[in-house]
Amino acid sequence: MSIVTSQVDAGTAAAGLTTRRRGLGFIRILLSNGKATVGAVLLLIFCFVAAFPGVFTDDDPRADAYDRSMGLSSHHLLGTTAYGQDLWAQVIYGTRQSLVIAAVAGALATAISVIVGVAAGYLAGVADNVLSLLIDVFLVIPTFPLIIVIAAYKKSSLTVLIAVLVLTGWSYGARQMRVQTMSLRNRDFLQAARARGERRLYVIVVEVLPTMTSLIVAQFLGAALYSVLAAAGLQFIGLGDPNALSWGTILYFAENNEALQTNQYAWAVAPGVCIALLGAAFALLNYAFDEVSNPALRPVRRRGRRGVAGS
Amino acid sequence: MTSTPATDAAGAAAPADSAPLLRTEGLTRHFRIGGLGRRHLLHAVDDANFAIGRQEIVALAGESGSGKSTIARLLAGVHPPTSGEIYYKGRPVSRMRSRKEVLAYRGAMPMVFQDPFSSLNPAFRVSHGVLRALKLHRTDLDAAGRRAEARRVFEAVGLTPAETVLDRFPYELSGGQRQRVGFAQAIAYRPDLIIADEPVSMLDVSIRVGLLNLMSRLRETEGVSVLYITHDLASARYVADRLMIMYAGYIVESGPSEDVLAEPKHPYTQLLLSAVPDPRAPLSEQATADRGEPPRVVDPTPGCRFRFRCPLAEAVCETVTPALNPVAPDHVAACHVTAPAGR
Amino acid sequence: MALLEVDDLSVSYATSSGEVVAVDHVDLHVEPNEFVGVVGESGCGKSTLLFGIAQLLSSPARITGGSVRFKGRDLVSLSSRELRAQRWRDFSVVMQSAMNALNPVKSIGAQFIDAVKAHEQMPKARIRERSAEMLRLVGIDPVHLKSYPHQLSGGMRQRAMIAMALLFTPDLVIMDEPTSALDVVAQRSLMAQISELQDALGFAVVFVTHDMSLVSHYSDRLVVMYAGQTVEVGDTRDVFDSPQHPYSQGLLDAFPSIRGPKTTLTGIPGAPPDLALPPPGCRFAPRCPMVMDKCHTIEPELYRAGSALARCLLYDGEAK
């Protein structure tokens, strides 16, 4: 009969010393992984900028009060746009909306993917079939044609943008949640909870979800990353609200004024770099949570034949 | 199907004044398997009749595919039986409709699981399961009372100092300690019967004995019966009063553990016994020759399911499924050759 | 010169809580055709030792000292090309669970072909012939060359693994708990098969297991491990009849017997030490029923104890 032997024979004992406790653990995770620390710092900087834009610039980003298309100078760190607006101020103030889009769309998409995915994985049977179909349908809906269709009917706005991002972004995560839940479904502690007489909703919310926190956080980071890039793309082709101030809309105007062709490089490059950095921040943070949920880094346990069904 | 004491695995007749704690009658469970059409039927358990009394430890022994784990799940209510009935204190379980009744039944018959690593939720402290169980089943206690009871059950299973251990997370405990938590969770219900599904198979040998001794002790201190499911006959002998041997979904032999092991009547029991490694005994030929191929339980034909490996197989074994017949007081076996009917 | 000479082998893991020594200065000598059982519970280092001998360790584990001489050549110092030349031809490895070691999407025959081709140029027909021969030798009908692993029972899969390990009739076969995923009857049958094959083909076996009784009838010598060290080495019968080390005694006593009188057993209370912080002195001292004061400060060596060797200060030849 197989005994619970760890391949890293001593690892089991040592591993106990390094496994995290909830809460305090997240900080430790971020600090232990170099990539994650960089990502966290980047994100914090962006958050700070979004919260206190006035700290970084005195100019009003919308005021076209300056000379047009000026180069970089000490008064205008990134020069001015073809409309005479200070680009640095635009980028600074644009941070807020970009971050809000990422956070809100990311959170909503994650929430939906958790609810649908976990329900599908746990309930199984007919409910699973229906929900899986739903997931698959949304998975194949193409983003751009969808928003073009919606834009034809509704005036484009932030709400519509976020709604489209959520609708197209939740399904990928839902599949992962479903699979993970399915693998947890028959764990003994869940069976014990059912045998205790716990209600199904309780089991899902209290017993299953806490064991998936790392995965959920990773989902959020992935969804936020997707939202940043997709939002920028949509705004770039003009499907966002042109009156909004966000990196994507800056790009839109830059493109309209042929910024790159007319040597106004800063106008196109600056918001692009910001989008890339914010996306990178989310991606780097994701590395930390990858490590925590990655079973390869856990002690290998060999299971005996009792894993076989029907005996 | 009526079951008289002579033809079921209950052994002695139940005392006239009370029904046995648990009795099964014709308990059967089949699973539909196989691809798209699900056309095949896996006979996990067929026609199990047995009874468990108060404060007794009964071992259910068998190999993979024998059906012993399925019986555990049927008793715990994980699957409904395909046919047959379970009687708890004389009342049929399938007739229990109200949530209250079902909850009471589940609480009377908790299960201890095999895998110490997946039986506790890693996100919570080890007190979580016990406290929830007390909250749902012991409504007479308030929060302080629940905590005190949690301490009591932890101490009863040897996890001391209880207050400290209660606040640990599963990863901080060893496999043996986690299994003790499993037992603590079980006795928190103040159960009549603990269904222990291979509770020591995944533990180190030097730790197993401690858990086996714990089961015996709980029988005295908590007044609880134990259904000990295992593949290891030696541990069954050590801890159980009665022993039931399962093969391919059937109970093939049953009786007091000493009797069954000293005078095994069913050829499968004899095979199992001779295959158990015992450094003090010489090797047996029969065990060496048998390959240990798993039994056929998918769409089986009538007749004895052991006949393909049986050295005593006769013509009747091909067509007639043997019933459990007495071979000694309290001792029954299902074999046409060694335990013919009407002896 | 012995077939396999492991001298003073040490294997460590780098973990976030420091260096963990999983195998601590272990000696193991295996003569040709000998069956050596390496016995111990979880965390004792027996599997790591096996992997260390077979040069199968992967980061973060590494050999930090000692040598593994196989037929005179130190395997630790060989390049991977030289190692490959010896693998499978001179020594092979059988893993614990065939389902993990066999490729689920290839037929048994195809995997045998892979195994042969990795080490020798042989025409396909000749490989098929040899594979069929090996399967027959382990009691499997050669028709199963076309079968996939999931179509075979657990016992048959393990036999197929052993057949694969014997393709080149190596001089040494290292087995890591090959029977622990099997039921007791299949286990017994497989052990007998291994013994028969040993007699027929002539090879040495190093058999790692947690179940002492399993090897009791088949092994010539027994090595008992605890907390990364060998604590007792001796002829199997001697170790069973009169175990010298308190851990071996405790371990033997922890097996309930199927025959003979029923007695209450106690097992060994406590748990193995954390190898990141091993206790000072003897590692078994915290759990030892015969512990003396000096056990907490002096680290015992392997002393001669009767006809065996035991790592216990009871046998250090000094007054208590």
Q: What is the pLDDT of residues C157-196, one digit of tens each?
A: 888 999 999 988 899 999 998 888 788 888 888 888 899 8
pLDDT at B283: 65
Higher pLDDT, C288 or A34: C288
Confidence bin at A21 (pLDDT 50/70/90): very low
- Inform me whether the C-beta atom of residue B176 falls under 8 Å from chain A C-beta atoms: no
Q: How far apart are the first and last CA of chain A?
A: 15
Nearest to C48 by CA among C39, C57, C40: C57
* Cα separation, C11 vs C65, whole angstroms: 7
d(C-alpha C131, C-alpha C146), whole Å: 11
Average pLDDT over residues B47-76: 92
The length of chain A is 311
Q: How many helices (H) and strands (E) does chain A have?
A: 12, 0
- Which residues of chain C form beta strands (DSSP E)? 4-15, 18-30, 35-39, 61-70, 73-74, 91-94, 172-176, 204-209, 221-226, 229-235, 303-305, 308-310
C137: buried, middle or exposed (CB in 10 Å: 19+, 13-18, 0-12)? Answer: middle
Q: State yes or no: pLDDT of A301 exceeds 70.
A: no
The C-alpha atoms of residue A309 and residue B338 are separated, in whole angstroms, by 32
Per-residue pLDDT at C292 exceeds 60: yes
C44 and A CB contact within 8 Å: yes
**What average pLDDT does the structure give for chain A?**
78
The pLDDT, as a whole number, for residue B81 is: 93
pLDDT at A2 over 50: no
Q: What digits encode the pLDDT tens for the residues B294-338? A: 788 888 888 999 998 898 888 999 999 999 999 998 899 999 999
Which CA distances in Å does B260 have to B59, B256, C211? 12, 6, 25
> Order of strands, edge to edge, in the sheet holding C61-70?
C18-30, C4-15, C61-70, C73-74
Mark yes or no for CB contact A304/B110 under 8 Å. Answer: no
Query: Is the confidence metric ipTM above 0.90 for this complex?
Result: no
- For the stretch C225-245, pLDDT in tens is 999 999 999 999 899 889 999
Chains touching chain A, criterion 3+ CB pairs below 8 Å: B, C
Residue B286 C-alpha, separation from nearest chain C C-alpha, in angstroms: 10
Asked if residue B161 lies in contact with residue B154, where contact means CB atoms within 8 angstroms, the answer is no
Q: If DSSP codes are grouped into helix, strand and coil, which group holds residue B27?
A: strand
CB contact under 8 A, C180 and A18: no
Q: Which residue is closest to B64 within chain C, CA to CA?
A: C183
- Measured CA to CA, the distance from residue C122 to residue C128 in angstroms comes to 10
Give the whole-angstrom CA distance, residue C307 versus residue C315: 12
Q: What is the pLDDT of residue A83?
A: 79
**Which residue in A has a C-alpha nearest to residue C19's C-alpha?**
A14
Is the pLDDT reported for residue C319 higher than 60?
no
Q: Is the model's pLDDT at B281 over the cut of 70?
A: no
**Option in B67, B171, B203 nearest A311 (CB):** B67
Name B326's bridge partners. Answer: B332
**Does pTM surpass 0.95?**
no
**Cα atoms in the 13 Å half-sphere on the side-chain side of A60:** 5
Contact state of C256 with B237 under an 8 Å Cβ cutoff = yes
Q: In the predicted model, what is the mean pLDDT of chain C? A: 88
Please answer yes or no on whether C189 and B289 come within 8 Å at the CB atom. yes
pLDDT value for C231: 94
- Write out pLDDT tens, residues C6-29: 999 999 988 767 788 999 999 999
Nearest to residue A38, comparing CAs of A309, A305, A280?
Answer: A280
Q: Do A147 and A237 touch, CB atoms closer than 8 A?
A: no
* pLDDT tier, B188 (very low <50, low <70, confident <90, very high otherwise): very high
Residue A1: the pLDDT is 38
pLDDT greater at residue B85 or residue C88 = B85
Report CB contact under 8 Å: A196, B232: no
pLDDT of residue B269 exceeding 90: yes
Helices (H) and strands (E) in chain B, counts: 12, 12
Q: Is A18 on the interface with B (CB under 8 A)?
A: no
Which residues in chain C are contacts of A299 at CB distance < 8 A?
none
| Cβ distance of C258 and B278 shorter than 8 Å | yes
Interface partners of C (3+ CB pairs, < 8 Å)? A, B
Within an 8 Å CB–CB cutoff, is residue C48 touching chain A?
A: yes
| B33 touches C at CB < 8 Å | no
For residues C94-109, average pLDDT: 84
Judge: B119–A188 Cβ closer than 8 Å, yes or no. yes
What are B241's two structure tokens? 């009063």
pLDDT confidence bin for A298, thresholds 50/70/90 = very low
- Would you tell me how many other CB atoms lie within 10 Å of the CB of residue B326? 17
User: In percent, how much of chain A has pLDDT > 70?
Assistant: 80
Q: Is B188 on the interface with A (CB under 8 A)?
A: no
B78 touches chain A (CB under 8 A): yes
Look at C194 and A72; give whichever has higher pLDDT.
C194
Identify the band that residue B280 occupies on the pLDDT scale cut at 50, 70 and 90: low
Q: Between chains, do B121 and A15 touch, taking CB under 8 Å as contact?
A: no
Q: How far apart are CA A62 and CA A67, in angstroms?
A: 14
Taking an 8 Å cut-off on Cβ atoms, the answer to whether A8 and C22 are in contact is yes
Q: Do residues B112 and B199 lie in contact, with contact meaning Cβ atoms separated by under 8 Å?
A: yes
Q: HSE, CB side, 13 Å, CA atoms: give it for residue B234.
A: 25
Q: DSSP E strands: which ranges in chain B?
A: 22-33, 40-52, 57-61, 83-88, 91-92, 111-112, 193-197, 225-230, 242-247, 250-256, 325-328, 331-333
What is the rounded average pLDDT of the residues A24-38? 71
How far apart (Å, rounded) are the C-alpha atoms in residues B52 and B226?
9
- Give the best residue of A2, A5, A20 to mutate against chain C (max C CB count within 10 A): A5
Residues of chain C contacting residue A2, judged by C-beta atoms under 8 Å apart: 96-97, 177, 180-181
Report the range out of A63-72, A193-202, B54-63, C266-275 with the highest average pLDDT. B54-63
Asked whether the beta carbons of B188 and B130 are under 8 A apart, the reply is yes
Task: Give the pLDDT confidence of A260-296 residue by residue, as tens digits.
Answer: 888 778 888 888 899 999 989 998 888 777 766 554 4
Closest by Cα among B275, B296, B246, B218 to B57: B218
**Of A100, A96, A57, residue with least CA distance to A77:** A57
Query: Can you give the pLDDT at residue C230?
Result: 94
What confidence tier does A66 reach under pLDDT thresholds 50, 70, 90? confident
Mutation target to probe the A interface, by most A beta carbons within 10 A, among C15, C96, C185 is C15
In this prediction, residue A124 carries a pLDDT of 81
Instruction: Reply yes or no on whether the pLDDT at A241 is more than 70.
Output: yes
Q: Give the bridge partners for B87, in sequence order.
A: B23, B92
Tens-digit pLDDT profile for residues A144-180: 787 777 767 776 678 888 888 898 889 888 998 999 9
Q: Please give the share of chain B, as a percent, with pLDDT higher than 70.
A: 91
Which tokens go with C123? 């025409």
User: Three-class SS of residue A38?
Assistant: helix
- For an interface test with B, the pick among C255, C263, C266, C274 (most B C-beta atoms closer than 10 Å) comes out as C255
Percent above pLDDT 90 for chain A: 19
Residues of C with CB under 8 A from a CB of B: 41-42, 139, 153-156, 182-189, 192, 210-214, 216-217, 240, 250-251, 254-260, 262, 264-269, 271
Q: Give the model confidence (pLDDT) of C205-229 as tens digits.
A: 999 998 888 888 889 999 999 999 9
CA C195 to chain centre: 15
Residue C272: φ, ψ to 5°: -60, 155
H or E element, residue B215: helix B205-221
Kindly report the nearest CA distance between residue A221 and chain B, in angstroms.
22
Of C234, C175, C219, C239, nearest to C36 (Cα)?
C219
